Amino acid sequence: MIINIEKINEFYQLIKAYDTIIIHRHVRPDPDAVGSQLGLKAWIQNTYPDKTVLAAGTIGESLAWLGKMDEVTRDDYQDALVIVVDTADQPRIDGKNYKQGKSLIKIDHHLLVDSYGDLEIVDENASSTAELLTQMTIHLSEVLPINKEVADLFYAGIVGDTGRFQFSNTTDQTFLSVGYLMKNGLDNVTINNYFNELEIEELRFQSLAISRIRQHEHGVASLIIYQKDLIDYEISEEATNSITNIPGRIKGVISWVVFIQQASESEKFRARIRSKGPNINPVAIAFDGGGHAMASGANATDKQSRDRLIEALIEVNQQYLEEL
């Protein structure tokens, strides 16, 4: 991981200079987005309790254990510093007023899609935005120390984006970051339990998901979930994150896609694409999405586009296997 010291110092000077700081992240938040957002808020307030630090956006029940969002009005942005974390492109930012502040910072670890902000701190080699923020805390430890709350939240973000340290984005820097968090009060056992425990409805839903998996040529698998399934099993779309990596547990599967119908009777499906080797990001980009080499999101507008996306994954896998 390469840390730009000048940018980190500029970040610190901006934190010191502003009395109001508003933190955004992407829509449909995952643990890294929320952990980074709320962890950054707690980090700032640990040293500057008199500053107004607000977390903007909405959050579902499945991530409510990480904390709460704040009520943020348009007036709050006057003379405010705005920070957007874990969001590669502006259309995915949760909240429309992020441009109304006086200064804007982007902190992210995704592949560069959209350059925005007066200050950009981006490291595509970081496993997660939470890991990048943890590295920033190490460099600023003497002036912006962290506490247990910060450590817990950043750890949740790292665990979420590394698949509990099983994904290939896990590096030596990831474990060095976690080690630093543990030295500063991290309760990793409690956080791990939050990730491991599921409601009984979610476990039953996983059984349905397993029965729906289809295997294709060259190590591709797919899974389709409909709105009716969510209603029948009393599951929110956010809670379906628990099934995203299930197809990857099948021996021989090296990339897969989970399609989630966006509305009853609708042909629009959100596609979660994952990989254990091939770079699937170009496929996501071709289908109105993006993300990482091994984990991306995309959109499918009808059955034909779903089939084309699967065929694109088959082609990527075939080329990957031929080059091994």
DSSP string of 287-308, one letter each residue: TT-EE-SSEEEEEE-SHHHHHH
Whether 91 has a pLDDT exceeding 80, the answer reads yes
Rg of the Cα atoms in the chain: 20
Instruction: Decide the pairing of beta strands 269-275 and 295-300.
Output: antiparallel
- Please report the pLDDT score of residue 1 as a whole number: 60
Q: Any idea of the CA torsion for 308, 221, 223, 200, to the nearest 10 degrees?
A: -160
The alpha helices in 148-244, defined as continuous H runs, are: 148-162, 172-183, 188-196, 200-212, 227-232
Going from the C-alpha of 276 to that of each of 43, 141, 174, 216, the distances in angstroms are 34, 35, 18, 16
- Please report the pLDDT score of residue 143 as a whole number: 98
The band of 112, judged by pLDDT with boundaries at 50, 70 and 90, is: confident
Of the chain, the end-to-end C-alpha distance in Å amounts to 27
- What pLDDT digit, counting tens, does each position of 119-162 carry? 999 999 999 999 999 999 999 999 999 999 999 999 999 999 99
In DSSP terms, 93 is beta-bridged to 26
Asked if residue 192 lies in contact with residue 106, where contact means CB atoms within 8 angstroms, the answer is: no
The band of 62, judged by pLDDT with boundaries at 50, 70 and 90, is: confident
Q: Which residue would you say has higher pLDDT here, 3 or 46?
A: 46
Which of 142, 130, 140, 93 has its CA nearest to residue 113?
93
Q: Which residue would you say has higher pLDDT here, 13 or 324?
A: 13
What is the rounded average pLDDT of the residues 163-192? 96
- Please report the pLDDT score of residue 113 as a whole number: 84
What is the rounded average pLDDT of the residues 226-231? 97
DSSP labels, 101-150: SSEEEEEE-SPP----SSEEEE-TTSS-HHHHHHHHHHHTTTTS---HHH
Which of 310, 241, 246, 323 has its CA nearest to residue 277?
323
Asked if residue 128 lies in contact with residue 157, where contact means CB atoms within 8 angstroms, the answer is: yes
Q: Is the pTM of this model over 0.75?
A: yes
- What pLDDT digit, counting tens, does each position of 273-319 carry? 999 999 999 999 999 998 888 999 999 999 999 999 999 999 999 99
What is the rounded average pLDDT of the residues 96-120? 95
Strand, helix or coil at 272? strand
- Please report the pLDDT score of residue 158 as a whole number: 98
Residue identified by tokens 């996501």 is: 284
Average pLDDT, the chain: 95
